[in-house]
Amino acid sequence: MSDFSFWVILSNLLLATRWTIALSLVAFASGGLVGLALLFARVSRIGWLEWTTKAYVEFFQGTPLLMQLFLFFFGVALFGIEVSPWLAAWLALTFWTSAFLTEIWRGCVEAIPKGQWEAADTLAMSYMQQMWHVILPQAFRIAIPPTVGFSVQVVKGTALASIIGFVDLTKAGTMLNNATFRPFLVYSLVALIYFALCFPLSWFAHRLERTFNVAR
């Protein structure tokens, strides 16, 4: 009996993990795209554009992700628009991810020595040409390790989507616990699965970091 419920619990958790992975991938991809667009705005040297982007980043970095989820889930409903947990979670995680990635990438752009800008400047390149051909290719290299590292935060962030009813790994854990009353077993397994998702990512990020440090 106990063996049976262990396998039932595990298989149900693994099935729900698919949704955690899907939400993570989708949020990270769309967050990355929005983040790249915002990066250009953030370092555009156009005053109001930089300030607006900065305010956006500050807002999403300075408020709990859970509040952002609530805002999208309940807030949009106020306008009479039905929002599914999936859509709300996707939107909130996209905005949240984009804010953090913009900030990480801005740091990478600013880490490029001033002499690189000046050399491109004296070659009569325009700002966009300098960005595209000189700065971003170099910033991209140093951005890879922290970006991969941040993907761990996205995976863990998806757990909050369970609170608005999105059936991911965490939500499945809660439901299974209610059915089996074996919280320690259930949540141990949940934690283990998250770890199995996240550890390879952070290991990979550390390895990349070491590779790039050696390559310099």
Partner 1 sequence: MSLVSIQNVRKSFGEVEVLKGVSVEIARGAVVAIIGKSGSGKSTLLRCINGLETYDAGGISVDGIDVAAARADLRDLRRNVGMVFQQFNLFPHLTAAENVMLAPRVVNRESEIRAKELAREMLAKVGLADKAGNYPSQLSGGQQQRVAIARALAMRPNVLLCDEITSALDPELVNEVLRVIEALAKDGMTLILVTHEMRFARDVGTKLVFMHQGKVHEEGPPKQLFAGPTTPELVQFIGASLH
- Site residues for partner 1 per CB under 8 A: 113, 115-116, 118-126, 129, 133-134, 137-138, 141
Give whichever of 38 and 120 is closer to partner 1, judged by the CB atom: 120
Nearer to partner 1, 27 or 120 (CB): 120
| Residue 216 Cβ vs partner 1, minimum distance, rounded to whole Å | 8
For the CB of residue 147, give the shortest distance to partner 1 in the complex, in Å. Answer: 18
Residue 58 or 118: which CB sits closer to partner 1? 118
* CA nearest neighbour of 36 among 187, 140, 142: 140
CB of 110 to partner 1, least distance (A): 17
Specify whether the CB–CB gap between 158 and 23 falls below 8 A: yes
CA distance from start to end of the chain: 58
Residue 16 Cβ, how far from partner 1 at the closest point, in Å?
A: 43
Nearer to partner 1, 120 or 164 (CB): 120
Q: Which is nearer to partner 1, 120 or 155 (CB)?
A: 120
- Taking the complex as a whole, the smallest distance from the CB of residue 139 to partner 1 amounts, in Å, to 10
